[in-house]
Amino acid sequence: MSNTFISLEKVSLHYAEDSRAGVSKIDLSIKKGDFVAIVGESGSGKSTLLKIIYGLLAPDMGEVFFKGLHLDGPHEKLIPGHDSMKMMSQDFNLNLYARVYENIESMLSNEDLKGKKKKAADIMKLLGIEYLANKKIIELSGGEQQRVALARAIITEPEVLLLDEPFSQLDALLKTQFRADLKNLCDQLGITIILVSHDPVDGLTLANKMIILKEGKLIESGRPEEIYSNPLHIYTAKLLGNAFVLPAEEARILGIRAKLNTVMIYPEWVQLKSSWGSKSYRVKEIFFKGFYEDLLLERNEIELVAINQKPGIYQKGDKVQVQISRYLEYSY
């Protein structure tokens, strides 16, 4: 417990209008400097959990601790939210007709004007937006506005940065850039970041700790690579890796000697090669993905997906040799 920064003990919160919504009996510990991703489907309780950690919502049961001390909820503080934390909202909360540097500097007091300007300049340089300093917010793109909002959030040097779906309004290129910004902040400044996302890629690429929520319950947590490679639940595998699931009897038809009820296979575990143990499949459909393509394969009316890293060499109707390199079994 000595290195635990934030901890939740049996935390539950349910909404009166929908008793199924909210979170149930969440136990969680976060270390200082962690990059945590809370991942789950829409309605799984992700945003509720984030607001409880920040102090915007109070749990019905259980308790939240920050540095070993009780974290006050909204009924215990005049202004909800923890002073050592910053939550970045999706609407950015920027003054559209003020300049970039004015938006950022406005977060600091006027006690040291010279230091205030230097600090704002340093933050803008860190995020690569110094060239935007004199532009008005209304003149910026969505991605540029998001960087300004991030600068505002971190200029007061919070110990924890909370982000609720920060990539939802960004295109693929801006999303990649913003992910790099967040990773840099966590590494260089040591800020603990807690991010909520419905996109598992955010957790897999950024986090050192991933939390999987389903229907308000924490079903597993750990390092992303460990959860991905050996998920405890089929739900997790389908959420993170486009996994497909077969009943054991269908898996046996494909030559998989399953002992439990259900088999899970990731597309990358379906290898296209002719060797001992390989089986012949028909290419039912091809989905071009750029430098690779997904092949929808069929054998005995059972479908699998394989990744082909040499696009164009197969046509619909072709027969291919397939070997399943790995699979996981589940008892349900």
Query: Looking at residue 20, what is its pLDDT?
Result: 67
The answer, yes or no, to whether residue 2 has pLDDT greater than 60, is no
pLDDT digits (tens, 9 = 90+) for 302-324: 999 999 999 999 999 999 999 89
Average pLDDT over the chain reads 90
Does 259 lie in the same domain as 138? Answer: no
Q: Would the pLDDT of 197 be above 80?
A: yes
pLDDT at 231 over 90: yes
Q: Which residue do the tokens 């996109």 mark? A: 199
| pLDDT interval class at 1 (50, 70, 90) | very low
Residue 251's domain is classified under what CATH number? Answer: 2.40.50.140
pLDDT category of residue 246 using cuts at 50, 70 and 90: very high
The mean-pLDDT minimum among 138-147, 173-182, 277-286, 314-323 falls in 173-182
Residue range 143-160, pLDDT digits in tens: 888 889 999 999 999 999
The residue among 239, 260, 283 that closes a domain is: 239
Quote the domain boundaries for residue 292: 242-330
* 68 and 155 assigned to the same domain: yes
User: Where would I find the beta strands (DSSP E) of 76-146?
Assistant: 85-88
Q: Are both 179 and 286 inside the same structural domain? A: no
**Rounded percentage of the chain residues whose pLDDT exceeds 70:** 97
Question: Of 239, 263, 284, which residue constitutes the final position of a domain?
Answer: 239
Q: In the chain, pLDDT over 90 holds for what percent of residues?
A: 62
Which pair of tokens denotes residue 155?
A: 């200029």
Question: Can you list the positions of beta strands (E) in the chain?
Answer: 4-15, 18-31, 35-39, 61-66, 69-70, 85-88, 160-164, 192-197, 209-214, 217-222, 244-247, 262-265, 270-272, 279-288, 293-299, 302-308, 319-324, 328-330
Residue 85: per-residue pLDDT: 94
**Predicted model pTM:** 0.88
Instruction: Give the pLDDT confidence score for residue 126 in this predicted structure.
Output: 87
* Average pLDDT of the residues in 239-259: 89
CA dist 116 and 190 (Å) reads 21
* Whether residue 71 is found in the same domain as residue 205: yes
Are residue 235 and residue 267 in the same domain, yes or no?
no
Confidence check: pLDDT of 86 > 80: yes
> Could you tell me if 26 and 166 lie in one domain?
yes
Same domain, 216 and 282: no
Domain closes at, from 185, 219, 239 = 239
One domain for residues 23 and 83:
yes
Model confidence at 274, pLDDT cuts 50, 70, 90, reads confident
Residue 269 pLDDT > 90: yes
Give the chain's domain count: 2
Q: Please check whether residue 37 is in contact with residue 211, taking contact to mean a CB–CB distance below 8 angstroms.
A: yes
- φ, ψ for residue 68, nearest 5 deg: 85, -5
Q: Which CATH number fits the domain that encloses residue 180?
A: 3.40.50.300
Confidence of residue 76 (pLDDT cuts 50, 70, 90): confident
Q: Is residue 311 located within the same domain as residue 195?
A: no
Whether the CB-CB separation of 53 and 87 falls below 8 Å is answered with no
